[in-house]
Amino acid sequence: MKHSSRIFVVMAILLFAGGCAYYNTFFNAEKYFANANKMPLLDNGRPNPNAVRDYNKAIKKCGIILTEYKDTKYADDALFLLAKCFYFTGTNYTLAMEKFDDLIRFYPESEFVPEAMLYKARCKQGFNKHEEAYRMLRDFIADDTYSDYHPQALNLLAHYYLDEENFVQAAYYFDKIINDYPESKEYEDAYFLRGKALHIYGLYRDSNEVFFQLLNSRISKKTKLDARYYIAYNYLELGEYAKAEKYIQRLLKQEYRTHLFSKIELLLARSYRGMGKITEAEELFESVINNNRRRLIASEAAFYLSEMYFDVHDYKKAIENYKRVKQENKKSPFIARSLTKSAVASQIIQYYNPDNTMDVQDLVQEQFKLAEYYIEILDTPDSALVVYQKIYTQRQQLASRIDSLSSRLVLLQDSLASITPAVDSSRTVTVADSTVSSVPDSSTIAKAVTADDSIIARADTLALADSTLAENTPAAPDSAAIAMQNKREALASNITETTASLTKAQQDITLFDEEFIPFSKMVKVWLYANVYRDSAKADSIYREMYRTMPDNKHTFAAERYLAGKEVELITRQTYLQREEYKDAIGMLDTSVDSTIARLQNIATKPDHHYYPLAMYSLGHLYYFDKQDSTTARPYLDELLAIPTLDSQLRSAASAFYTGKHFVRYQRLPALITLEEQQRAAEAETERLRKEAEEAAAAEAQKQDQTSDLPDDQQKTDDSSSQAPAQTDILESVSDQ
pLDDT at 722 over 50: no
Can you tell me the mean pLDDT for 579-604? Answer: 92
C-alpha 204/C-alpha 212 separation (Å) is 12
Question: Do both 364 and 345 map to the same domain?
Answer: no
With respect to residue 420, please indicate whether it lies within any of the assigned structural domains: yes
Question: Do both 422 and 374 map to the same domain?
Answer: yes
User: For the domain that residue 291 is a member of, what is the CATH number?
Assistant: 1.25.40.10
pLDDT > 70 in the chain, percent: 82
pLDDT at 296 over 90: yes
Residues of the domain holding 443: 360-468+479-569
Confidence at residue 66, expressed as pLDDT on a 0 to 100 scale: 86
Lowest mean pLDDT among 308-312, 556-560, 588-592: 588-592
Last residue of a domain, one of 353, 379, 395: 353
pLDDT at 713 over 60: no
With respect to residue 369, please indicate whether it lies within any of the assigned structural domains: yes
Of residues 128 and 421, more confidence is placed in 128
DSSP 721: -
DSSP 107: -
pLDDT at 517 over 70: yes
Of residues 7 and 270, more confidence is placed in 270
Confidence at residue 702, expressed as pLDDT on a 0 to 100 scale: 63
With respect to residue 161, please indicate whether it lies within any of the assigned structural domains: no
Confidence at residue 68, expressed as pLDDT on a 0 to 100 scale: 84
Radius of gyration of the chain (CA): 43
Please report which confidence band the pLDDT of residue 633 belongs to, taking 50, 70 and 90 as the band edges.
very high
Provide the CA 87 distance to its chain's centre, in angstroms.
34
pLDDT at 625 over 90: no
Last residue of a domain, one of 286, 319, 353: 353
Question: Do both 680 and 563 map to the same domain?
Answer: no
With respect to residue 327, please indicate whether it lies within any of the assigned structural domains: yes
Confidence at residue 307, expressed as pLDDT on a 0 to 100 scale: 94
With respect to residue 38, please indicate whether it lies within any of the assigned structural domains: no
For residue 29, the tally of other CB atoms under 10 A from its CB is 25
pLDDT per residue as tens digits for the range 193-206:
889 989 988 999 99
Confidence at residue 65, expressed as pLDDT on a 0 to 100 scale: 83
pLDDT at 13 over 60: no
Q: What angle do CA 93, 102, 41 make, to 5 degrees?
A: 30
Can you tell me the mean pLDDT for 155-165? Answer: 88
DSSP 425: T
Can you tell me the mean pLDDT for 261-286? Answer: 95
How many domains are there within the chain? 4
Question: Do both 279 and 384 map to the same domain?
Answer: no
Can you tell me the mean pLDDT for 386-408? Answer: 88
Confidence at residue 615, expressed as pLDDT on a 0 to 100 scale: 93
Confidence at residue 639, expressed as pLDDT on a 0 to 100 scale: 93
pLDDT at 86 over 60: yes
Can you tell me the mean pLDDT for 23-45? Answer: 83
C-alpha 733/C-alpha 689 separation (Å) is 6
Confidence at residue 168, expressed as pLDDT on a 0 to 100 scale: 86
Question: Do both 379 and 441 map to the same domain?
Answer: yes
Question: Do both 405 and 526 map to the same domain?
Answer: yes
Confidence at residue 275, expressed as pLDDT on a 0 to 100 scale: 95
Question: Do both 422 and 534 map to the same domain?
Answer: yes
Tell me if 65 sits within 8 A of 25, measured CB to CB: yes
C-alpha 416/C-alpha 438 separation (Å) is 12
Confidence at residue 1, expressed as pLDDT on a 0 to 100 scale: 43
Beta bridge partners of residue 434, listed in sequence order:
431
Of residues 677 and 246, more confidence is placed in 246
Lowest mean pLDDT among 41-50, 161-170, 549-558, 638-647: 41-50
Can you tell me the mean pLDDT for 6-19? Answer: 40
With respect to residue 366, please indicate whether it lies within any of the assigned structural domains: yes
Question: Do both 418 and 540 map to the same domain?
Answer: yes
Tell me if 87 sits within 8 A of 119, measured CB to CB: yes
Can you tell me the mean pLDDT for 244-263? Answer: 93
Question: Do both 403 and 530 map to the same domain?
Answer: yes
Last residue of a domain, one of 538, 554, 569: 569
Confidence at residue 474, expressed as pLDDT on a 0 to 100 scale: 52
With respect to residue 18, please indicate whether it lies within any of the assigned structural domains: no
Question: Do both 413 and 283 map to the same domain?
Answer: no
- Residue 385: name the closest of 521, 208, 183, 221 by CA: 521
Confidence at residue 670, expressed as pLDDT on a 0 to 100 scale: 55
Question: Do both 418 and 531 map to the same domain?
Answer: yes
Mean pLDDT, rounded, of the chain: 82
Please report which confidence band the pLDDT of residue 429 belongs to, taking 50, 70 and 90 as the band edges.
very low
Question: Do both 317 and 432 map to the same domain?
Answer: no
Q: Which residues of 566-591 are buried (b: 16+ CB within 10 A; e: fewer)?
A: eeeebbbebeebeebbeebeebeeee
Please report which confidence band the pLDDT of residue 712 belongs to, taking 50, 70 and 90 as the band edges.
very low
pLDDT at 701 over 80: no
Confidence at residue 719, expressed as pLDDT on a 0 to 100 scale: 39
With respect to residue 262, please indicate whether it lies within any of the assigned structural domains: yes
